[in-house]
Amino acid sequence: MTQKLWTAVDDYINQQVVPSDLALDAALAACAEAELPAISVTPSQGKLLQMLALLVNARNILEIGTLGGYSTIWMARALPGDGRLITMEFDPKHAQVASDNIANAGLENMVEVREGNALELLPELAAEGLEAFDLTFIDADKCNNLQYFEWALRLSRKGSLIIVDNVVRDGRVIDAEDSDADIQGIRSLFKRMATEPRVLCTAQQTVGSKGYDGFAIALVTG
């Protein structure tokens, strides 16, 4: 009565307000075909990311952790014609699947998949002196969440949003006995968000077809 129901309600929400779409369906099918892990955001989460991007009038979006580009496609569709999304992916196979999915969605001119370790790519990106990112979606190796948040903050402007996926992990976040590096990474992130005066932060627990997890959201106010 938990996971089964959460999945059924997610299906219901999708049927009601998150209509399926050829390019998004094809992207998920290609991820499965290539045997990528089934950890893309859910459709309703993807749509939430898209709506948040629209809310901040995003022209520049940064994503850390591409996988097969499913969340990328949702967010890139919120961009105006001259908008741009940069997404970072460590695994060459994931990056290739993502590039194909992004091209299939007709977004190859707006989206740049940067292949490599985000910890190395982020300083390079900062050195390019691009416009600030209006939205950053952090969804890579959770052990490095703190570093990713620092870079996101540095690359933001007043009014930018920073969203971090997977900050609850079945409640493991509050298990003091849990010394897993990814869980520690989530706690370091919360600790940092709590003391950073330039951001307004909250987090939401979520249940759905991907189980029990959550998002953290930071609005850059200064």
**Least spacing, CB of residue 80 vs ligand DHB, in Å:** 27
**Least spacing, CB of residue 116 vs ligand DHB, in Å:** 18
Q: Does 143 bind ligand DHB (CB under 6 A)?
A: no
Applying the rule CB under 6 A, the residues between 82 and 101 that interact with ligand SAH are 88-91, 94
Separation CA 141–CA 166 (nearest Å): 10
User: Do the strands 133-138 and 156-165 form a parallel or antiparallel pair, or are they unpaired?
Assistant: parallel
**Least spacing, CB of residue 67 vs ligand SAH, in Å:** 3
Q: Does 109 bind ligand SAH (CB under 6 A)?
A: no
**Least spacing, CB of residue 165 vs ligand DHB, in Å:** 5
> Would you say 150 and 120 are in contact if contact means Cβ atoms under 8 Å apart?
no
End-to-end CA distance of the chain: 44
Applying the rule CB under 6 A, the residues between 32 and 51 that interact with ligand DHB are 39
- Using CB under 6 A, pick the residue from 10, 134, 139, 213 that binds ligand SAH: 139
According to DSSP, the residues that pair with 200 across neighbouring strands are 219
Nearest residue by C-beta to ligand SAH? Answer: 65
Residue type, 169: R
Q: DSSP E strands: which ranges in the chain?
A: 60-64, 84-89, 111-115, 133-138, 156-165, 199-208, 211-220
Q: How many residues bind ligand DHB (CB under 6 A)?
A: 4
According to DSSP, the residues that pair with 64 across neighbouring strands are 88, 138
Residues of the shown chain interacting with ligand SAH in the complex, contacts defined by CB under 6 A? 39-41, 65-67, 70-71, 88-91, 94, 117-119, 139-141
